[in-house]
Structure 1
Amino acid sequence: MTTLSSDSVLRRTADAAEHVSGICFKTGPPRQVGVELEWTTHHQDQPAALLRPSDLSRALGRHSPTVLGNPDPEPLPGGGSVTLEPGGQVEISSAPADSLAALYTAVSGDQLHLTDLLARGGIALGERGLDPHREPVRILDTPRYQAMEQSFDQAGTPSGHIMMRSTAGLQVCLDAGTEEQFRTRWAAVHELGPALLALFATSRMRQGRDTGWASGRMAAWYGMDPRRTGQVPQGDDPREDWARYALAAPLLCVRQRGSTWQVPDGVTFADWINGALKRPPTVDDLDYHLSTLFPPVRPRGYLEIRYLDAQPGLEWIAPAAVLVALFSDDTLTDAARDAAAPAAGRWVAAARDGLAEPAVARAAADLADLAGRCLDRTGLPQAVQETVTGIVDRRLHGAGQPRKDLLR
């Protein structure tokens, strides 16, 4: 494969496809795990009132991200970095960890630190994948977000605006695996998706109303252009599948001098290479374009699993533990694929009906049982394993309420 520098001009789609194929799956023995935790943010005494960027900047202090004017953001004590989304959602992106136990220690500490910082400023973290209190309003003003809004305006539906301003997700990041494993692991994270999406759905309510979806967050994603948010087609070669998807996806924006990053509607990256815009794209432009694609699983060298709603408190450990357990061994992954088979591909039914959909419920129960029997493979302390089991059992059977004590 030819190595291209970031400023190399792309004049052939074949060169762009080769670059994407070369960076999307970094193979090797799976060892590391990471998470990205996202929350909506609210005034403690008036959760439906709008926050201002200055409210978040003051509360976050030295951890405030660059988008709020801090030129040198300081990581959280456990190594996580803080970012901010257009509607004021706060996100922790963890450093990769060599075990789930180490990740839980680092990220739970960072989460508690963040929660305390925000609480001192009168701000609380949301507990759902969709803002249940207020209308979707953008509070951050950047060229990227302006271009996103224009693109969503052209689509003529509210879904894009809801996604960027009102949703919060949990992303679990797993190694792709060895050259012999990565195709199976790539297929498996998709096949498990509908059942796990339904099992951990938290976003039925929006603006005080029932959306009619177990995951109103995923309903917003499904209302957007599937060329950017749909599942990557599953062919014989995941590398080629992702490259085709990326080049056929419409541009969300093009970085340039000034504040106008908008592009004509419908122009794909392949069109750009073929002369649709004034200047040709570079490899750096292609890498940025990849960051604007949001399928339910995105290959970023590792597997970025994007289909999970944000979880209340520290309950993110439950879906993370289920995934890590089921991918801890090739035999377990094969068994998980068998368990997930009744619901595989049933993305919309899982997001809309959740565990009320019989095939999805059956797959979720079987996956939960399989993961529960091998939680010791995660390396989590016994007490945390028991917490995970309790959370999963409550989700399966609808008993009780989220654990308010988990953030004490």
Structure 2
Amino acid sequence: MSSDASGDHCPPGQAPPLGEGEAEELLHGISFKTGPPRTVGVELEWLIHHRDRPRVPVPPDRLEAAVAALRALPLNASLTFEPGGQLELSSRPAGSLMACIEATAADLDSVRDALDRMDLAAVGLGLDPWHPPRRLLHEPRYDAMEISLDRSGPAGRGMMCSTASVQVCLDAGEEEPGPLGHGRRWQLSHLLGAVLVGAFANSPYQFGRPTPWRSTRQSLWTDLDPWRPLAPSAHLPPRDAWAAHVLNSPVMCIREDEGPWAVPHGLSFRDWIRTGAPRPPVRADLDYHISTLFPPVRPRGHLELRMIDAQLGPDGWLVPLAVTTALFDDPEAAETVYRTVKPLAETAGPQPAPRNPLWVTAARDGLADPELRAAAALCFGIALEALPRMGATTAVQEAVAEFNDRFVARGRCPADDFPELLAPGAARDACDHFEVPRS
């Protein structure tokens, strides 16, 4: 949903219309590109706050100056900005976990140094704990998105303008069944996803007050319209399920070469193809439509796991990246973790994530829930055994072990530190806790 992801491959009026069969073939072809898992990537979103006064909103002109300065940096990753001014850093696909970590860490050092010179800080929180949603990017697609999301209530604006996450991107997996098969990895992502929500929940405050959720960010996704945040059906093969989900989901908006974009109500992409009104859709419309669907796992050739709150500290992001990659890409770990989380399917029930009971409990209670705590403890133990086999450095292993000892082993998540950090009259401003000093 970044500001550069418009899907405008060419003007709609200059491209051939897209047929229903062609759309289904495209979705089958682009969603799961199978093969042995070899690459990993990460997309990191950050809130931008005053370094010393995080409760004071950063003025738009300061954010615009920061955007200009950061865009001038020679980064390996792609740098974009969300509608509320959140920074997103998207790594290139890397050939190993450590290659991804090292390249991303180098980029983040450059970004932090540039922000520091402007008395600003990139803050890893799943949801802005103080400021109401404020849209800073005014473009036709965001105008249309706001109109569409407002139909379901205030959650949409909060999602657009106030949230940040760690998104782990992994290869779809092998075509053949087995621990690394794409069907197994697809199923695993939706069961393990709830464990990741609970373990890394980091957004219990909104508008300066505690909410009933450890991950209020996840609750915002859940409160969007009836289709947009849902996982596809679990009763169909992954490619068929995703294609049906995309085509049957409502169109958020219809791109136009000039003027405001139309915002239809209840028009599925399939119906748009069949009616051809207000104009026939083209391939770029399908690409853009996919970008307006926000399931917890989005297949984009690879798997984009989108359920993890942004994490505090300069190195907090690497723990969910390392744990998730180890559990998916190490064959021994993948087989063991699948057996660990498979029983969670009974708790989840038939309703798709993130609205099933398992995901709701994870967002509300974190690891205070006994079933999720036990699953998370097993998953972190499996990951810690796998990381040396994957070439993870001692520093990465120690970061995961420290998170495990501090939170998972005690049935806690980062959100449980918030009352201490944000209580009125605290001895130090909460922003002092947001960034661990770098060595």
* Cα distance between partner residues in 2 of 1:62 and 1:404: 21
Q: What amino acid maps onto 1:361 in structure 2?
A: R
Q: 1:209: which partner in 2?
A: 209
Following superposition, the deviation at residue 276 of structure 1 comes to: 5.7
Q: 2:30: which partner in 1?
A: 23
Tell whether the 8 Å contact from 1:246 to 1:290 is kept in structure 2 after alignment: yes
Q: How does 1:377-392 map to 2 (within 5 A)?
A: 377-392=389-404
Q: 1:126: which partner in 2?
A: 123
2:158 to 142, 157, 162: 162
Following superposition, the deviation at residue 224 of structure 1 comes to: 0.4
Aligned residues: 392
Listed one character per residue, the Cα deviations across residues 87-139 of structure 1 (whole Å, up to 9, x for unaligned) are 11001000111011111111011111111111211211222100011111111
Q: 1:296: which partner in 2?
A: 296
Following superposition, the deviation at residue 403 of structure 1 comes to: 8.2
Following superposition, the deviation at residue 271 of structure 1 comes to: 1.4
Q: 1:175: which partner in 2?
A: 171
Instruction: Indicate how the Cα distance of structure 1 residues 399 and 276 shifts in structure 2: closer, same or farther if over 3 A, else same.
Output: closer
Following superposition, the deviation at residue 61 of structure 1 comes to: 3.5
Tell whether the 8 Å contact from 2:101 to 2:318 is kept in structure 1 after alignment: yes
Tell whether the 8 Å contact from 1:183 to 1:238 is kept in structure 2 after alignment: yes
1:8 and 2:16 correspond: yes
SS in 1 for 2:89: strand
Tell whether the 8 Å contact from 1:189 to 1:305 is kept in structure 2 after alignment: yes
Tell whether the 8 Å contact from 1:342 to 1:363 is kept in structure 2 after alignment: no
1:327 and 2:328 correspond: yes
Tell whether the 8 Å contact from 2:70 to 2:111 is kept in structure 1 after alignment: no
* Cα distance between partner residues in 1 of 2:183 and 2:201: 27
SS in 1 for 2:186: helix
Q: How does 1:38-53 map to 2 (within 5 A)?
A: 38-53=45-60
Following superposition, the deviation at residue 399 of structure 1 comes to: 9.1
SS in 1 for 2:111: helix
TM-score (normalised: structure 1):
0.91
Q: What amino acid maps onto 1:8 in structure 2?
A: P
Following superposition, the deviation at residue 186 of structure 1 comes to: 1.1
Q: 2:136: which partner in 1?
A: 139
Listed one character per residue, the Cα deviations across residues 174-200 of structure 1 (whole Å, up to 9, x for unaligned) are 001221111111111111011111001
Instruction: Indicate how the Cα distance of structure 1 residues 403 and 85 shifts in structure 2: closer, same or farther if over 3 A, else same.
Output: closer
Q: What amino acid maps onto 2:126 in structure 1?
A: G
TM-score (normalised: structure 2):
0.85
Q: 1:347: which partner in 2?
A: 359
* Cα distance between partner residues in 2 of 1:270 and 1:286: 10
Tell whether the 8 Å contact from 2:330 to 2:386 is kept in structure 1 after alignment: no
Tell whether the 8 Å contact from 1:84 to 1:91 is kept in structure 2 after alignment: yes
Q: What amino acid maps onto 1:178 in structure 2?
A: E
Following superposition, the deviation at residue 342 of structure 1 comes to: 4.1
* Cα distance between partner residues in 2 of 1:14 and 1:194: 34
Q: What amino acid maps onto 1:297 in structure 2?
A: V
Tell whether the 8 Å contact from 1:87 to 1:140 is kept in structure 2 after alignment: yes
* Cα distance between partner residues in 1 of 2:211 and 2:182: 37
SS in 2 for 1:373: helix
Following superposition, the deviation at residue 253 of structure 1 comes to: 1.5
Tell whether the 8 Å contact from 1:87 to 1:136 is kept in structure 2 after alignment: yes
Question: Any gaps of 5 or more consecutive residues in structure 1?
Answer: 65-72
* Cα distance between partner residues in 1 of 2:301 and 2:437: 33
Tell whether the 8 Å contact from 2:77 to 2:89 is kept in structure 1 after alignment: yes
Q: 2:428: which partner in 1?
A: none
2:110 to 93, 113, 124: 113
Mean CA deviation greater in 346-355 or 324-333: 324-333
Q: 1:227: which partner in 2?
A: 227
Tell whether the 8 Å contact from 1:194 to 1:343 is kept in structure 2 after alignment: no
Q: 2:91: which partner in 1?
A: 94
SS in 2 for 1:172: strand
SS in 1 for 2:126: coil
Tell whether the 8 Å contact from 1:136 to 1:165 is kept in structure 2 after alignment: yes
1:374 and 2:370 correspond: no
Q: How does 1:39-78 map to 2 (within 5 A)?
A: 39-61=46-68, 63-64=70-71, 75-76=74-75
* Cα distance between partner residues in 1 of 2:209 and 2:61: 29
Q: What amino acid maps onto 1:42 in structure 2?
A: H
Q: 1:68: which partner in 2?
A: none
Tell whether the 8 Å contact from 2:126 to 2:309 is kept in structure 1 after alignment: yes
RMSD over aligned CA atoms reads 2.0
* Cα distance between partner residues in 1 of 2:81 and 2:396: 29
Question: Any gaps of 5 or more consecutive residues in structure 2?
Answer: 1-8, 349-357, 418-432
Q: 2:369: which partner in 1?
A: 357
